[in-house]
Amino acid sequence: QEKKQTFLFKVYLYFVVIFTLYILILCFNSTIVCLIWTHKNLHEPMYIFIAALLINSVLYSMTIYPKLLSDVLSEKQIISYPLCLFQGFLYYTSAGSEFLLLAAMAYDRYVSICKPLQYAVIMNRITIYVCLVLAWIIPAFETAVPVVLYSNVKLCSFTLTGIFCNNSGYKLQCVQSVAISIYGVVMLINIALLPMLFILFTYIRIVRISYQSCREVRKKAVKTCLPHLLVLINFSCFIVFDVVIIRLESDLSKTLRLILTFQSILFHPLLNPIIYGLKMNEIFKSLKILFCHVTVAG
């Protein structure tokens, strides 16, 4: 009886902790998105892309946390194969969108710093809308192909090694498909590697031009580009874990694998609003005004 009570206490504790973190992720991201939406001085391409990135973080979290919370309270962690494929589809679509949105933000910073006189012409509303639509549509279409292929594959195993349906699902196949593996590599190049190379190229160009310019330009480059680079490094590390370590079937302990997985689903969506909220001056000012109003009202 005592062991059962201890077990139930741990289960409810885990549930409360995960649920609290989920609510924090939703609140942090939604607060900054609402600030950008309601403040006209934040209706600029850079902030619109930040809002899109934070909305993407919310979608990313909503893909994982509801099922995870349900699993914590369940005796057996079960998911149907179609629902597992759908979760994987949403997870990799949002991950691909992250890279493309960061690439769009890098291009916006490049035009702003390197071609300031042409900024208003190049980064017009049509350009912004096209970037946003493509950032979500391209990963969705590319991710849909392996999902369709996986739906027709024969399974010989029904136990996932992770806490949600991700890249480890390919181990469930009786015979690993060469076509799916090759397509997976092509997809990884298209929605992760190429955007990352584009981002690095634009930031190298920004650094070179900033170094040759006055102090004000260098200061502007550091203030606006540093948050994007922090988010890119943070997210890239998690993608490396998800793709490389799982695919290579690295002999990680169950505890270490669980810790790394939790980092990818917790730190990334929680750090994004913190990084942008603290590092972007206009957003930080709006947050201070909001908290002052809340304090006065209280």
pLDDT digits (tens, 9 = 90+) for 265-274: 777 788 777 7
Cβ contacts of residue 114 below 8 Å, gap of 6+?
205, 206, 209
Give the whole-angstrom CA distance, residue 181 versus residue 183. Answer: 5
Across 157-169, b (16+ Cβ under 10 Å) vs e yields: eeebbebbbbbbb
Which DSSP category does 253 fall into?
-
Q: Encode the chain (298 residues) as per-residue pLDDT tens digits.
A: 667 777 777 888 888 988 998 999 998 889 888 888 888 888 888 889 989 989 998 998 898 888 888 888 887 778 888 888 888 899 889 988 988 998 998 899 888 888 888 888 999 999 999 999 999 999 999 999 888 888 877 777 667 777 777 776 666 677 777 787 788 888 888 888 899 889 888 888 888 887 777 777 677 677 777 777 777 777 777 777 666 656 555 556 666 666 667 777 777 788 777 777 766 667 767 767 766 765 555 5
Helix (H) or strand (E) holding 154: none
CA 45, 50, 53 angle in degrees (round to 5)? 125
Question: Which CATH number belongs to the domain containing residue 127 in this structure?
Answer: 1.20.1070.10
Average pLDDT, the chain: 80
Q: Is the dihedral angle over the CA atoms 253, 256, 257, 258 positive or is it negative?
A: positive
Give the whole-angstrom CA distance, residue 219 versus residue 176. Answer: 51
Across 261-289, b (16+ Cβ under 10 Å) vs e yields: beebbbebbbbbbebbbebbeebeebbee
Residue 158's domain comprises 1-297
Give the whole-angstrom CA distance, residue 259 versus residue 292. Answer: 37
Count of the separate structural domains present in the chain: 1
Half-sphere exposure of 122 (CA within 13 A, CB side): 14
Q: Taking Cα atoms as reference points, which of 17, 22, 31 lies closest to residue 289? A: 31
Q: Please give the model's pTM, rounded to 2 decimal places.
A: 0.85
